[in-house]
Amino acid sequence: MIPWKTIDRLPLPAGGGELSLHRRGDEFSIRVDGLELMNSLAHESEDALARLACGRIAGRPGACVLIGGLGMGFTLASALRGLSSRAKVVVAEVVPAVVAWNREHLADLSGRPLEDERVTVREADVARILKEERGAYDAIMLDVDNGPEGLTLKSNGWLYTRTGLDASYAALRPAGVLAIWSDKSHDAFIKRLRQTGFEVEEIRVLSKSRHGAARYTIWIAQKREIVSRSKG
């Protein structure tokens, strides 16, 4: 079997461990402290995250979407396929090296989505964007970690707190969608989503590769649309 080759490695901010990119033939792997975070041969769940979210806002031709976490670009590529030519996609990636990897090493895997004119990349923490912008997005997709129990960065945990969910809720337009990827289900988090004001659907997605198959969780949380009523 062809051995893995390390392409790059770097320390994550705020003592988050080591992030590294590896290649074996046509297969790529991104790891945190040696633990695989994502693999280029298993991206059905990332595709589904964007497909399910964009499906809920398909009737909005000028939709504006925020994606937290670039990864290997598969979520972005799937979102672009589900959005109109007038849509805008903002990608928030806190690690500049991940953006560089996507431009140099990973671009062809997902069809070079960063070159699409609808895309704007912000090398920033998605949490900062959520805190600063209100009513800006029709959909927000979070694929920044392994779920409510963070692995990559401790700071990611804020996104899944009630305060973080309140910020996501406020950043969405009426009937907007928050889509979140996780490696497993989490009953307490579903309850937290509902307490924030979202209508929640949990979807289990099978992701296959040459190394086997695994099931992941996607939460589609839709902001309740408030309809004003005038007194008659």
pLDDT tens track for 79-89: 999 999 999 99
| Rounded average pLDDT over 48-58 | 96
- 172-225 pLDDT, tens digit per residue, is 999 999 999 998 889 999 999 999 999 999 999 988 766 677 889 999 999 986
The answer to whether residue 217 sits within a structural domain is yes
Which tokens is 135 given?
């009513």
Question: How many structural domains is the chain composed of?
Answer: 1
pLDDT on residue 184: 87
Residue 187: domain span: 43-223
Please say if the pLDDT value at position 227 is more than 50: no
Residue 36 lies in a domain: no
User: Which comes out higher in pLDDT, residue 152 or 80?
Assistant: 80
Domain annotation covers residue 29: no
How confident is the model over 85-106, as a mean pLDDT? 97
The confidence band for 232, taking pLDDT boundaries of 50, 70 and 90, is very low
Q: What does the radius of gyration of the chain's CA atoms come to, in whole angstroms?
A: 17
Mean pLDDT along residues 125-132: 95
Q: Is residue 26 part of a domain?
A: no
For residue 209, the model assigns a pLDDT of 66
Q: CB of 159 within 8 A of CB of 127?
A: yes
pLDDT at 140 over 80: yes
Q: In this structure, what DSSP letter does residue 226 have?
A: P
% of the chain surpassing 90 pLDDT: 78
Residue 3 domain flag = no
What does pLDDT average to over the chain?
A: 91
Residue 148 has pLDDT above 90, yes or no: no
Give mean pLDDT, residues 46-58: 96
Q: Helices in the chain by DSSP H: which ranges?
A: 44-56, 74-82, 96-104, 126-132, 162-171, 187-196
Residue 131 lies in a domain: yes
- Write down the pTM of the prediction: 0.91
pLDDT band at 230 (very low <50, low <70, confident <90, very high): very low
pLDDT at 153 over 70: no
Amino acid at 15: G
pLDDT at residue 108 tops 60: yes
- Residue that wins the pLDDT comparison between 60 and 207: 60
Percent of the chain with pLDDT over 70: 91
- Cβ contact 51:141 at 8 Å: no
pLDDT of the residue at 155: 64
**Domain assignment of residue 20, yes or no:** no
Task: Note whether residue 134 is domain-resident.
Answer: yes
What are the Cα distances from residue 202, in Å, to 173, 195, 222? 21, 15, 12
Q: How many helices (H) and strands (E) does the chain have?
A: 6, 11
pLDDT, position 101? 98
Q: What pLDDT, on the 0 to 100 scale, is given for residue 231?
A: 41
Q: Please give the DSSP secondary-structure letter assigned to residue 116.
A: S
- Provide the β-strand partners of residue 31: 20, 36
The per-residue pLDDT for 210 is: 67
Give me the CATH number covering residue 195.
Answer: 3.40.50.150
Q: Long-range contact list for 148-152, CB < 8 A, 24+ apart? A: 148/182, 148/186, 148/188, 148/189, 149/186, 151/32, 151/35, 151/37, 152/12, 152/16, 152/17, 152/19, 152/32, 152/37
Residue 5 pLDDT greater than 80, yes or no: yes
